[in-house]
Amino acid sequence: MSELNSFGYSSRGGLSDAISRNRVLRNTFALLALSMLPTMLGAWIGVTTGFSFFRSSPLMGMVIFMAVAFAFFWGIEKNKNSGTGVLLLLGFTFFMGLMLTGLLTHTLQFRNGGQLIMMAFGSTALILFGMASWAATSKSNFEGLGKWLFIGVVLMILASVANIFLQIPALMLTIMVFAVGIFSAFILVDVQRIVNGGETNYVMATLSIYLNVYNIFTNLLAIFGIVGGDRD
């Protein structure tokens, strides 16, 4: 005899789905925490060796960066259901740690550089915790935010390209603040997608949330450096 609730769904099926969603959410945040280790290792190696794709040619460096990043994206997507996907994800986070070299090196030139890095890290962790908790407990549906956030990212990219030529400090700071807001909202959308069963693969879920966290951290660190960096 089937057990149906008032909405016509099997209570056993509903419980099974809930357990599956919780497992995906738990695995996602476990893998996200693990991904911080290769990120920090990559950042440490980058800072100590002075690694940079962009030193000789910023344009060529950007081309190389995009090629490597999209190669990782392709590989992770193709292997998302196996341990290879996890290894590729961790390799990608190591690579992204290397990409922090320039920003970290610049920040460490300030007398309070280490403090700024810890402030950015702590603030990012608070944003992640706050947005994830909100997404997991809210009765509101944030799915509709996705298309508006995508438009916001496009506008942000266009403004960033324009500011390469305009060189307006206030615009650059505005773009950074805007980026923190956009990627914080993306955490809200991505976590709720897991909670609602829209994302069932924890490797891809981790990749999405990792990119949000990475962008929040880098923009916060740049903002803190601008408004609170001590050169004296």
pLDDT single digits (tens) 161-193:
888 788 888 999 999 999 999 999 999 999 999
Query: What integer pLDDT is reported at residue 231 of this predicted model?
Result: 78
225 within 8 A of 106, measured Cβ to Cβ: yes
pLDDT (tens digit per residue) in 88-133: 999 999 999 999 999 999 999 999 999 999 999 999 999 999 999 9
Query: What integer pLDDT is reported at residue 7 of this predicted model?
Result: 35
What is the domain count for the chain? 1
Instruction: HSE, CB side, 13 Å, CA atoms: give it for residue 195.
Output: 19
Identify which of 188, 193, 174 has the alpha carbon closest to the alpha carbon of residue 127: 188
For residue 20, give Cα distances in angstroms to 29, 39, 68: 14, 28, 33
Task: For residue 180, tell me if it sits in a domain.
Answer: yes
Q: Would you place residue 232 in the very low, low, confident or very high pLDDT band (cuts 50, 70, 90)?
A: low
Query: What integer pLDDT is reported at residue 15 of this predicted model?
Result: 65
Task: For residue 163, tell me if it sits in a domain.
Answer: yes
Query: What integer pLDDT is reported at residue 5 of this predicted model?
Result: 43
For residue 25, give Cα distances in angstroms to 14, 17, 35: 16, 12, 15
Task: For residue 208, tell me if it sits in a domain.
Answer: yes
Task: For residue 141, tell me if it sits in a domain.
Answer: yes
Task: For residue 33, tell me if it sits in a domain.
Answer: yes
pLDDT above 90 coverage of the chain, percent: 67
Task: For residue 85, tell me if it sits in a domain.
Answer: yes
Q: Is pLDDT above 60 for 10?
A: no
Report CA 184 to chain centroid distance, whole Å.
Answer: 9
Q: Would you place residue 139 in the very low, low, confident or very high pLDDT band (cuts 50, 70, 90)?
A: confident
Instruction: Give the Cβ contact number of residue 232 at 10 Å.
Output: 4
**R_g of the chain computed on alpha carbons:** 20
Domain with 157, as residue range(s), is: 11-228
Q: Pick the range with the lowest mean pLDDT from 37-41, 55-59, 93-97, 138-142.
A: 55-59
Beta bridge partners of 4: 10
Query: What integer pLDDT is reported at residue 3 of this predicted model?
Result: 44
> What residue spans of the chain are helical by DSSP H?
11-49, 58-78, 83-98, 101-107, 113-137, 145-166, 169-195, 202-228
Task: For residue 3, tell me if it sits in a domain.
Answer: no
Task: For residue 173, tell me if it sits in a domain.
Answer: yes
35 within 8 A of 91, measured Cβ to Cβ: no
